[in-house]
């Protein structure tokens, strides 16, 4: 009798000690934007994604389930922890419909232990979205920055800098906007504008405590070539330090 009771109690305690599996977490999507009707390899990074069985991309009321091309563990960038940027990823090859008529889609990852919270991926027309070209880490190799375009870039490594050339005229009011952290990127961006001689014209870091992204607005003092530097303000960098850069002029 007592033996039966003790066994029952022990079983009850064992059940209490059993922990439910933790659900997967989707933390970072790279790149931050795709174009309709363009095949793009998209990396989904987070925690407990190695058992992913399905990725669902919601385009309006339609669901797309791209094929999983790769999944497993990945290294954590220097000075970061897995809980901040994830240590596992899933890669899918994504092609959106030619005319999705949306400015973003949401993505979730399913594993046997649950479904991640959705994350947003921007959708930008192919004639507007331009890839940043590596090798643009100095004034001599800067990439032309065209107003009205969205430049899709990455701060690839620690102390990396991307430089964009601005051809301006005196009195023009230029506005440069970078989106990264608000879209899930671990990047803490900063923008710095120099004149042709390398002198500092203007600099901008965090816009507010709510987001580490920033907008730099400056009236050019003279005609000429200017150089806009994009960095991570803490000199961090990795293949997931993605950003979207836009410019407008009045």
Condensed to tens digits (0 to 9), the pLDDT of residues 167-182 reads: 999 999 999 999 999 9
Per the CB < 8 A criterion, the answer to whether 65 and 108 are in contact is no
Over range 98-119, report the average pLDDT.
94
| 3-state SS assignment for residue 166 | strand
| 228 pLDDT above the threshold of 70 | yes
Per the CB < 8 A criterion, the answer to whether 123 and 102 are in contact is yes
Q: CA 246, 139, 177 angle in degrees (round to 5)?
A: 15
Q: What is the C-alpha separation between 208 and 212, in angstroms, rounded? A: 7
pTM: predicted TM-score of the whole model, two decimal places? 0.90
Residue 139: what pLDDT? Answer: 79
Nearest to 54 by CA among 40, 66, 43: 66
Over range 222-247, report the average pLDDT.
97
Domains and CATH numbers, the chain: 25-123 (2.60.40.10), 129-249 (2.60.120.380)
Burial of 175 (0-12, 13-18, 19+ CB in 10 A): middle
Residue 13: what pLDDT? Answer: 57
Burial of 49 (0-12, 13-18, 19+ CB in 10 A): buried
E strand intervals along the chain: 25-30, 33-34, 40-47, 54-59, 62-64, 68-73, 88-94, 104-111, 114-115, 119-123, 129-131, 143-144, 150-154, 162-168, 173-179, 189-194, 200-204, 214-219, 224-232, 242-249
What secondary structure letter does DSSP report for 76?
P
Residue 3: what pLDDT? Answer: 52
| 164 pLDDT above the threshold of 80 | yes
Alpha helix (H) ranges present in 74-123?
A: 82-85
Q: What is the C-alpha separation between 44 and 7, in angstroms, rounded? A: 46
Over range 52-60, report the average pLDDT.
96
Q: What is the C-alpha separation between 216 and 202, in angstroms, rounded? A: 8
Over range 32-40, report the average pLDDT.
96
Burial of 80 (0-12, 13-18, 19+ CB in 10 A): middle
Share of the chain above pLDDT 90, in %: 83
| 191 pLDDT above the threshold of 90 | yes
């Amino acid at each position: 009798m007592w033996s039966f009771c003790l066994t029952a109690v022990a079983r009850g305690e064992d059940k209490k000690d059993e922990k439910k599996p933790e659900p997967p977490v989707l933390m970072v999507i790279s790149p931050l934007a795709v174009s309709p009707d363009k095949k793009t390899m998209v990396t989904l990074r987070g925690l407990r994604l190695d058992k992913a069985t399905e990725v669902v991309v919601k385009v309006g009321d339609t669901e797309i389930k791209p094929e999983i091309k790769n999944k497993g563990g990945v290294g954590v960038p220097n000075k970061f922890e897995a809980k901040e940027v994830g240590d596992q990823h899933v890669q899918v090859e994504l092609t959106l419909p030619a005319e999705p008529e949306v400015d973003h889609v949401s993505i979730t990852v399913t594993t046997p232990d649950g479904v991640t919270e959705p994350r947003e991926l921007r959708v930008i027309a192919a004639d507007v979205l331009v890839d940043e070209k590596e090798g643009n880490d100095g004034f001599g190799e800067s990439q032309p920055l065209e107003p009205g375009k969205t430049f899709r870039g990455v701060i690839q490594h620690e102390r990396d800098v991307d430089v964009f050339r601005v051809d301006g005229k005196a009195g023009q009011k230029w506005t440069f906007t970078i989106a990264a952290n608000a879209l899930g990127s671990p990047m803490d961006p900063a923008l710095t504008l120099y004149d042709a001689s390398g002198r500092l014209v203007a600099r901008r870091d965090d816009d507010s405590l709510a987001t580490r992204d920033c907008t730099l607005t400056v009236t050019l003092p003279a005609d000429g070539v200017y150089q806009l530097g994009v960095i991570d303000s803490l000199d961090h960098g990795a293949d997931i330090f993605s950003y979207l850069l836009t410019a407008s002029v009045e």
